[in-house]
Amino acid sequence: MIYKEGEIPLDINARRSAPISTNIQFFTQDTGSAKLSFSFTKDGAPLPLSAVDAKIVLLYADDSFYKRSLTPTDRVNGKAEYVLSDEELKHHGQVRAEVKLYYTNGQALATVFFTFSIAKTLEDQNIVPVAEYYIDDVESFRDQISQTLEEIKARFDEFENIETKAGAQEKADAAEANAKAYTDQHAAKTDNPHKVTKSQVGLANVDNVKQAAKTAFDTHVADNVRHITADERTKWNAAQLTKITADDAGVSLTIGDGDDFYDKVTKNGKRFGTFYSTGKAQNIPTTLSARGLFHMTSTINGVGSYGYVIAVDWKNNVFSNYVDGTLGWQGWRRFLTDADISPTWNSVNLINGAKQDSLYPLKFSVSNNVLWLRGSFGTLPAIGTSVAKFTNKPTQTVDFVVPTIGSYGTARFSLTTDGDLRYDGMLANDETKVTRVSFNESIPLW
């Protein structure tokens, strides 16, 4: 059999994982050939699939829903596959999917969800699929039907309480007639306390205790403490409706020791705000304390799903990060300064007997996370001896060779993860005539 096969590795763990956005694409005419192959691992080893029923859940762009069983191909090494049916291939667009493992002892495991796509072929351009729902788990299907019946019953209960238009009008007419009869009866009483004559109404019967002077009115009108101008009212109405700082001008969000920076920023209920983070929080941009601002441009169920963060630590290093609702947080990036891009050259302090050359002394510079070495020195120490110590350290030992001066050859050096520039030996035509070694090297520090 020939298949279009998309391989998806799934690791079972409790770590936060971003959804897997694959590049897998099938077509609506891939009849019987669209296959998804899965490999399950846990703690770095294959996860056996014995005593387990593996299910795949597929949610299509048109809201079609399928839940079917995978076919194990190697239960010992945790491998399984699923071939999409002809009906499933009709539902073109992006497909969201996840795999669930149901064990016979009642346990269940869910994997991170992943996506793939189905594209329409030319001959299928006019096909409009109808939403379908398929669940091969009888118990789940029975629960779904029971829930639907309960919803229908609740709707019929609502219908019984709905008042018809004719019934509502009949009740309104009866209420109006009763109210009119009561008021007519009340007005006909001779001792009605509410009945007055025309002579009893008018300003002649109002006591004018005191009339305010015009100067008092003018003073009141000109009182700018009690009144605001039209310009001030416009300014207030256009003011910020959501505070981004505390009342004392401090930050609106504090991220303390042990707090998760990402959770604090996305789940605090604010779409825009300022923050302060200690150097001991999780997922922070720097181990130094930092301040900055965040802006969540979109939220889902009250949680920020898209947005960005700008942070500045107390040494004025600037970092940025952004969150994508599908891919998660994208990692901190530090802005480079003029000093990072155009650094200066500094003299290297030689140790263990190595001596600087008077004309071309050994110097170093760090630019864009790269250590540069240029110059030379003589009087090499014993093999395996450190000739200099740097505070800038690579993430792994870097070996390199430089030319010898005085006799043609090379000398081998290495920069270790402790920052030691170590001499590792020489190969020259006549080692006794070597006067110095010459450097012109760039060493990555990441």
Residue bearing tokens 């629960």: 143
Cα–Cα distance, 4 to 27 (Å, whole number): 10
Token code pair at residue 405? 């001066």
Q: Say if residues 319 and 295 touch (Cβ distance below 8 Å).
A: no
Cross-strand bridge partners of residue 65: 59, 133
Quote the pTM value: 0.34
Strands 79-83 and 34-42 come out as: antiparallel
Q: Is it true that 4-141 and 341-444 share their CATH fold?
A: yes
Cβ neighbourhood burial of 282 (10 Å; 0-12, 13-18, 19+): middle
Q: What is the CATH class of 341-444?
A: mainly beta
For 4-141, CATH gives 2.60.40.3350
The domain segmentation of the chain, as residue ranges, is 4-141, 253-335, 341-444
First to last CA, the chain: 47
What is the pLDDT tens value at each position of the chain, 446 positions in all?
889 999 999 998 888 888 898 999 999 999 999 999 999 999 889 999 988 999 999 999 988 899 999 999 999 999 999 999 999 999 999 999 999 999 988 899 888 899 999 999 988 887 777 777 777 765 554 555 566 566 656 665 655 555 666 777 787 788 778 777 766 766 666 565 555 554 554 555 556 566 667 787 778 877 877 778 888 888 777 766 666 777 666 788 899 999 999 888 888 777 788 889 998 999 988 889 999 988 888 777 778 888 889 999 988 889 999 888 888 888 898 887 776 776 789 999 999 999 999 999 999 999 888 999 999 999 999 999 999 999 999 999 999 999 999 999 999 999 999 999 999 999 999 999 999 999 999 999 98
Cα–Cα distance, 118 to 61 (Å, whole number): 10
